[in-house]
Structure 1
């Protein structure tokens, strides 16, 4: 999550603070252990990121677009 919609970089911690969504949920979404969120959490994440909900949860259109989370430190 280096360049969210508003141009501010987010760590898991700062996204959780900005959105009010738990760090645990954000970590599970980023690592693929969870692929859905309830509408309130999805809306809060989208608003914090300056994005629409659909691009956050739509599957990639090709395998080349799958994002890697190996550079994210969930403890930041």
Structure 2
């Protein structure tokens, strides 16, 4: 059954915020790198690689096991 135009899935606002933040990060990284290295932005490639919480550890304890939250996104969707 199709969702209505205005319907939002739980967590979808957070995903939208994260996607916007990622776009901002990629734009800023590209602009800064191009400026510092004195190269054209269209020659720059950036890859964001996000590790699952169970694949990231501090002092041998995974973030999943420690309860730590590696996310710093605190902005809410408007």
Task: Classify the TM-score, shorter chain.
Answer: under 0.3
* Structure with higher strand content: 2
TM-score scaled by structure 1? 0.22
TM-score scaled by structure 2? 0.21
Point out which structure has higher relative CO (alpha carbons under 8 A, 6+ apart): 1
